[in-house]
Amino acid sequence: MTTPGLLLLPTQEALVQRLQHIASYSEQLLVICGGNGSGKSTLTAALASELDDYNSALIICPQHADSAEIRRKILVQLISAPIFDDERPLMDTVLRIQSSLKKPLHIIIDDADFLPKDIWAECILLSQIYCAGKPVAVTMTVTPSFWQTLVADLTDDTRAKLLPVTIESLSVAERDGLYQSLLLRSRQTPFIPREIIHKQLEKQQGTPAEVVKLLALALEEPQTDKTPWRFATKLSITVFVISICVAIGFVVSTLLPQPIATSPQPTLTVEEAIERESAHQYLIEFADNTLNKYFSLRGLTRAEFGDNYPPMLLVESQKVVGSLVVDNNDLTFSNELPANNYTDVKVSSSIKGLSFEGELTKVKIKAADKPSDIVERDNKQLVKVQGFTLQLASVNDKSSLTPILAKLAQESQVFIMSNKQRYILFLGDFDDLAAANSKAKMLQKKYGLAEPWVRKWADLNDYKRQD
């Protein structure tokens, strides 16, 4: 007997006939036991296709299904126009419609391992009643491990109502026949020789699933292993890159100057460290006491005269600085005019621990012109009262005006006056204030001088002209 659409081996066909016979005459619930891949689902499908004289229902029990869902799946296949309550036990519903059924009933449940326990109890009771002159047949498939657990929980009377049927392993000949049949249906050429396939079939446990898996492996095209080549390529590239980096590092280290070897700092004892710190502190205090006043006075001089202050003025500020005493004999000035009417201004000083020496560029010195309308008395006191002039500088030492005079060598009407032991440098004689301011701006821009002071001649009556 060959079931349409299914490929059954001889032992499987014989088992289907046996199951059909038991279902027709036995009042026991039929339990088919077999491991995963042993062909339980194939057998139940073949059995259901042979039950033309029965009202049959075939369901595959899903995981985590409740009892109402299982009842509903069974009853919708047994009753053509079902009107039922899926909350009531199966036996109550079957007894209610028993008189209207013309064929016996056969219920097949695959993967009954997931079946709720109350449905198991209902199916056991259902197998004890008759319908259309024959007992209601119930067939279930389980794994051997579940069957052992189930039997341990049942009483002897209940266990007697169950009939287990174990699926036997396929023989080597059946395994080979199944392999060849499946290979013929696939219409493909295997990549594994037949001898190797036969040896693998002999090592199997005899389930159809193992044969199907072996066929899939034989039909799978072997892939060329390119891993060694890829690994070798990557390794070569890595070695090459590392070699380049090492070469570049060597060249750079060769071109760079060698570091100067420095001797390590000697380790000082506690006493030596204390002595060094004391000496350092003494030097700081000595410098503060000795030089602080000097730099303070020097800063004031810079603030008053700017960066272009005369060197002679700096020497004047260095004569007395706190405890520093300057010997006037150490100060030398050279103001003599050489034959070429040019002069060198040299300033030098020797102060305890300090020295200063400066030299100005040779410049041509011109005699200061007197204002044309300045009238001098015998004591050289000014009597002009009209007009304006520009005061450029005021110093205690007349020689300090030498640098400014050198800058103004090209200017006319430059003259020196004295008042109260100070020497004042003036420039120009202007009739109005606007002319004086214009000249003042020109001097600032041309010589970089500080802003001149515009003075009235009337305010300078007490000033005396200096030759």
At residue 260, the pLDDT reads 60
User: Does 74 reside within a domain?
Assistant: yes
User: Does 230 reside within a domain?
Assistant: no
pLDDT-based confidence at 306, cuts 50/70/90?
low
Residue 108, token pair as written in the block: 């097949």
Rounded to 5 degrees, φ, ψ at 130 are: -110, 150
DSSP-derived 3-state class of residue 373 = coil
Residue 101, token pair as written in the block: 């059924």
Q: Which amino acid is at 174?
A: E
Please tell me whether residues 332 and 404 are part of one structural domain.
no
Query: What's the domain count of the chain?
Result: 4
Please tell me whether residues 196 and 54 are part of one structural domain.
no
DSSP-derived 3-state class of residue 364 = strand
Question: What single-letter DSSP state applies at residue 190?
Answer: -
Please tell me whether residues 43 and 187 are part of one structural domain.
no
At residue 399, the pLDDT reads 86
**Section 176-196 average pLDDT:** 86
Beta carbons within 8 Å of 137's beta carbon, 6+ residues apart? 23, 24, 26, 30, 54, 104, 105, 106, 107, 127
Evaluate whether 392 touches 446 at the Cβ level (below 8 Å): no
Q: What's the pLDDT tens digit per position in 392-412?
A: 888 888 888 888 888 888 888
Please give the mean pLDDT across all residues of the chain: 78
Please tell me whether residues 300 and 335 are part of one structural domain.
yes
User: To the nearest whole percent, how much of the chain has pLDDT over 70?
Assistant: 74
Please tell me whether residues 399 and 459 are part of one structural domain.
yes
109 beta partners: 59, 140
At residue 59, the pLDDT reads 92
Q: Which amino acid is at 413?
A: Q
**Which residue's structure tokens are 């305010």?**
459
CA distance 264 to 413: 70
Please tell me whether residues 415 and 459 are part of one structural domain.
yes
Q: What's the pLDDT tens digit per position in 123-160?
A: 999 999 888 888 899 999 999 999 999 999 999 999 99
Evaluate whether 128 touches 135 at the Cβ level (below 8 Å): yes
Give the CATH number, domain containing residue 43: 3.40.50.300
Task: Kindly report which listed range (81-95, 113-127, 134-148, 359-373) carries the lowest average pLDDT score.
Answer: 359-373
Question: What single-letter DSSP state applies at residue 302?
Answer: H
User: Does 112 reside within a domain?
Assistant: yes
pLDDT-based confidence at 70, cuts 50/70/90?
very high
Full domain range(s) for residue 160: 10-166
Q: What's the pLDDT tens digit per position in 190-237?
A: 888 888 888 888 888 889 999 899 888 888 877 655 555 577 788 888
Please tell me whether residues 197 and 149 are part of one structural domain.
no
Please tell me whether residues 313 and 185 are part of one structural domain.
no
- Where helices occur in 61-137 by DSSP H, the ranges are 67-78, 90-97, 117-126
Query: The whole model's pTM is what?
Result: 0.47
At residue 379, the pLDDT reads 44
Please tell me whether residues 110 and 186 are part of one structural domain.
no
pLDDT-based confidence at 118, cuts 50/70/90?
very high
Please tell me whether residues 375 and 444 are part of one structural domain.
yes
At residue 401, the pLDDT reads 87
Question: What single-letter DSSP state applies at residue 338?
Answer: -
Evaluate whether 127 touches 137 at the Cβ level (below 8 Å): yes
Evaluate whether 387 touches 439 at the Cβ level (below 8 Å): no
